[in-house]
């Protein structure tokens, strides 16, 4: 048996977000596959079409589009790609609500985030800023239907058999794709070299009351990826990663230190998540940045709560966190 070495090309697609450009991957071979698509903007669509054309194809030739996770910068153009090519669209089954009914899902998500930051101590002025997230609706649109993937599914992309690996944490329905024979990993935003992947607070799953504990999920997913034999990682942003185990260890150490710092702040006095943010960053935080910081802190508090080192007390819709010794 000969090993098929996948032919992978990276296309750098501009985004209107602070994260900068997103990596879209074109995998040549049967079926001709795009992994992620970029945000829904004219500039991104033009860059995507040009990038595909420079490689000797056209958007109309794309046979399959695979979405790693349901964030605007990755799936925003999915509908345009599918409409122009008739490509099959694959993503994790949990991404059905955001992908197939994006507008409803996004409105619910912003409402959830507004309630989360209010309950966890953000003042009224900061709350108004969360409303700016509502406007992000323009950077994506719903797709007609996805072909749902499960954890460990085999997916044929670019002439090779890849394994889908459910890696929740940065996003609930996040998938990485591993090709064991060539030790390649398409990591989406699960493993990034230059940016800390945020364990974004998630809306509760359908039929569940509690939100997922994103940082706990994320750390578990990192350990799972660490076990894989990987010689090169193709991330959703930035340059490739060659030593994924060292990077995973570095991220886990960073989170451990952060958790310890937050525990120390709580031991000094009870605080809300917002107050912890002020103490950690030493300045007022606003808008999306506020949400991301509060996401990270609640992630650490989830860990401390599970370890019985911290406790959440909610009174009249206001939560305070307290250290348990
Ligand atoms: Zn991203």
**How many angstroms is it from 23 CA to the middle of ligand 1?**
9
> Which of 15, 67, 10, 68 is CA-nearest to residue 40?
15
**How many angstroms is it from 316 CA to the middle of ligand 1?**
36
**How many angstroms is it from 73 CA to the middle of ligand 1?**
6
Distance between CA 76 and CA 103 in Å, rounded?
12
Q: Can you list the domains of the chain with their CATH numbers?
A: 7-107+136-251 (3.60.15.10)
**How many angstroms is it from 218 CA to the middle of ligand 1?**
15
- Span 223-252, mean pLDDT? 97
**How many angstroms is it from 67 CA to the middle of ligand 1?**
11
| List of E strands, the chain | 7-13, 22-28, 33-35, 64-66, 88-92, 147-149, 154-157, 160-166, 175-179, 184-188, 232-235, 310-315, 318-323
**How many angstroms is it from 323 CA to the middle of ligand 1?**
34
- pLDDT band, very low/low/confident/very high, at 2 (cuts 50, 70, 90): very low
Bridge partners of 86? none
pLDDT tens string 155-174: 999 999 999 999 999 999 99
Q: Between 291 and 15, where is the model more confident? A: 15
198 φψ region: left (φ > 0), alpha (ψ -120 to 50), beta (else): beta
Contacts by 250-259, CB closer than 8 A, 24 or more apart: 251/196, 251/197, 251/222, 252/219, 252/222, 252/223, 254/196, 255/215, 255/219, 255/300, 258/296, 258/300, 259/300, 259/303, 259/304
**How many angstroms is it from 27 CA to the middle of ligand 1?**
19
**How many angstroms is it from 314 CA to the middle of ligand 1?**
33
pLDDT tens string 177-203: 999 999 999 999 999 998 877 888 888
Distance between CA 112 and CA 278 in Å, rounded?
22
| pLDDT of 121 higher than 60 | yes
pTM for the structure as a whole: 0.94
**How many angstroms is it from 280 CA to the middle of ligand 1?**
24
pLDDT tens string 18-46: 889 999 999 999 999 999 999 999 999 99
**How many angstroms is it from 259 CA to the middle of ligand 1?**
24
């Amino acid at each position: 048996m000969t090993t098929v070495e996948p032919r992978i090309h990276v296309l750098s697609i501009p985004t209107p977000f602070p994260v900068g450009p997103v990596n879209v991957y074109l995998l040549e071979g049967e079926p001709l596959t795009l992994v992620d698509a970029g945000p829904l903007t004219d500039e991104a669509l033009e860059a995507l079409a040009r990038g595909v054309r420079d490689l000797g194809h056209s958007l109309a030739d794309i046979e399959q589009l695979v979405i790693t996770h349901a964030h605007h910068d990755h799936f925003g153009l999915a509908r345009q790609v599918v409409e122009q090519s008739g490509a099959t669209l694959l993503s994790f089954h949990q991404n059905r609500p955001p992908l197939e009914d994006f507008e409803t899902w996004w409105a619910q998500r912003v409402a959830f985030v507004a309630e989360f930051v209010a309950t966890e101590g953000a003042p009224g002025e900061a709350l108004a800023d969360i409303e700016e997230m509502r406007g992000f609706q323009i950077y994506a649109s719903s797709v007609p239907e996805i072909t749902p993937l499960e954890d460990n599914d085999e997916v044929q992309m670019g002439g090779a058999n890849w394994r889908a690996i459910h890696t929740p944490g940065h996003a609930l329905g996040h998938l990485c794709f591993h090709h064991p024979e060539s030790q390649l990993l398409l990591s989406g935003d699960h493993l990034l070299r230059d940016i800390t992947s945020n364990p974004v607070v998630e809306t509760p799953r359908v039929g569940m009351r509690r939100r997922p504990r994103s940082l706990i999920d994320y750390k578990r997913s990192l350990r799972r990826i660490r076990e894989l034999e990987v010689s090169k990682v193709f991330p959703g942003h930035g340059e490739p990663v060659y030593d994924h185990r060292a990077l995973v260890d570095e991220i886990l150490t960073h989170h451990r230190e952060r958790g310890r710092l937050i525990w120390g702040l709580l031991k000094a006095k009870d605080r809300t998540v917002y107050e912890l943010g002020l103490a950690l960053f030493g300045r007022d935080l606003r808008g999306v940045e506020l949400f991301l910081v509060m996401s990270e802190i609640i992630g650490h508090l989830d860990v401390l709560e599970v370890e019985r080192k911290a406790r959440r007390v909610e009174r009249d819709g206001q939560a305070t966190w307290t250290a348990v010794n």
